[in-house]
Amino acid sequence: MRHLMSPMDFSVEELEKLMDLAGDIEANPAKYAHACEGKKLATLFYEPSTRTRLSHEAAMLNLGGNIMGFSSADSSSASKGESVSDTIRTISCYADICAMRHPKEGAPMVACRHSSIPVINAGDGGHQHPTQTLTDLLTIRSLKGHLGNMTIGLCGDLKFGRTVHSLIHALVRYTGIQFVLISPEELRLPSYIRSDVLDKNKIPYREVVRLEDALPNLDLLYMTRVQKERFFNEEDYVRMKDFYILDSKKMELAPKDMYVLHPLPRVNEISVEVDSDPRAAYFKQVQYGVYIRMALILTLLEIEVK
Ligand code: NCD
């Protein structure tokens, strides 16, 4: 049985197959409309979510399956003190596959060790967010036509942003990738990712503080929100939260084919005026998130549609 804990759980070839399947789902939705009939997805969300939970649910519903779950720890027995391992043993009796989001790093990993159904990590603390990365890869491949040979700017909260951590792990496997890490000093990419992932794979990168300095040379800009919930004190968050605001004026500095991605939710880091710029791709990204999760559910459940 297969789980998804990190984007590294799939080889580059497997990712290619998964994205091809997502492409076929996009082109022929009717072919997949009954593929998961009789199957149930449980969403176990111990942290807030809009897109990740609802896109997993939409994916299962589009496949003709059913959904169940909880959307906050308060409404589950976690609030009574139940452990993740007991909860997953229980859910294994009810559902065929589950997606779990948890504020603690490694909680979905604990779950998969006690589970008799596939577990999808839907975000664990500041660690990983593999299904967002699958979404991002499919979005980049669809917009640019390929995944290598690109300079990618990662901007915002690179310290706590799990979407960035997962995306870096996944992208270093493609040739010709370079990163520009754009963050305030306090929110730099953790040193273990710089040394264990970037340096180890000999990936060229530079760190800059000013977004304006990076913009002219990027093929892609991945914006992120300052992760309020991971800060130890409110004051630091308030000081950092509006450090970057991408607006139409700054977009003038960027190449004509530099797409802007964002895992969402956005707070102030992309001004709404940018939404009408043809390079703004963050709502397209949301749509790709459904196709790739449909492909993921089929793959983990080992369902082949002819
Ligand atoms: C992200 C997350 O939860 O890590 N959201 C998402 O799933 N699309 C990004 C964020 O919350 O900033």
Kindly list the domain boundaries of the chain, sorted by start residue. 7-128+289-300, 130-285
User: What six digits make up the tokens of 170?
Assistant: 């996944």
DSSP helix/strand/coil, 97: strand
Angle among Cα 110, 227, 239 to the nearest 5 degrees reads 150
53 belongs to the catalytic site: no
Active site residue 129: yes
User: What is the distance between the alpha carbons of residues 29 and 34, in angstroms, rounded to a whole number?
Assistant: 10
* Backbone phi, psi, residue 6, to 5°: -145, 155
Residue of the CA atom closest to atom 12 of ligand 1: 225
Q: What would the two tokens of residue 110 be?
A: 């604990």
Q: Do domains 7-128+289-300 and 130-285 have the same CATH topology?
A: yes
The sign of the dihedral angle between the CA atoms of 94, 97, 101, 102 is positive
pLDDT given at position 252: 98
Distance from the alpha carbon of residue 264 to the mean position of ligand 1, in angstroms: 6
**CA of 305 relative to ligand 1 center, distance in Å:** 31
* pTM listed for this prediction: 0.97
Q: Please give the CATH topology (third level) of the domain spanning 7-128+289-300.
A: Rossmann fold (3.40.50)
- What was the pLDDT predicted at 50? 95
The DSSP code for 38 is T
| Residue 52 falls in the annotated catalytic set | yes
Residue 55 C-alpha to ligand 1 middle, in angstroms?
13
What pLDDT does 41 receive? 98
Q: For the chain, how far is it from start to end, CA to CA, in angstroms? A: 22
Q: Is 51 a catalytic residue?
A: yes
| 78/202 Cα distance (integer angstroms) | 43
Residue 103 in contact with residue 82, Cβ under 8 Å?
A: no
Q: Are 121 and 100 in contact (CB under 8 A)?
A: yes
Most distant pair of Cα atoms in the chain: their distance: 56
Place of tokens 């969402």: 264
3-state secondary structure (DSSP) of residue 210: coil
Q: Is 225 a catalytic residue?
A: no
- Distance (Å) from CA 49 to ligand 1 centroid: 8
How many residues in total does the chain contain? 306
Candidates 154, 276, 171, 136; CA nearest to 211 is 154
166 lines ligand 1 (CB under 6 A): no
CATH architecture of 130-285: 3-Layer(aba) Sandwich (3.40)
Intervals of the chain under pLDDT 50: none
Q: Which amino acid is it at 196?
A: D
CA distance 29 to 61: 12
- Does the CB atom of residue 127 touch ligand 1 within 6 A? no
**pLDDT of the residue at 104:** 96
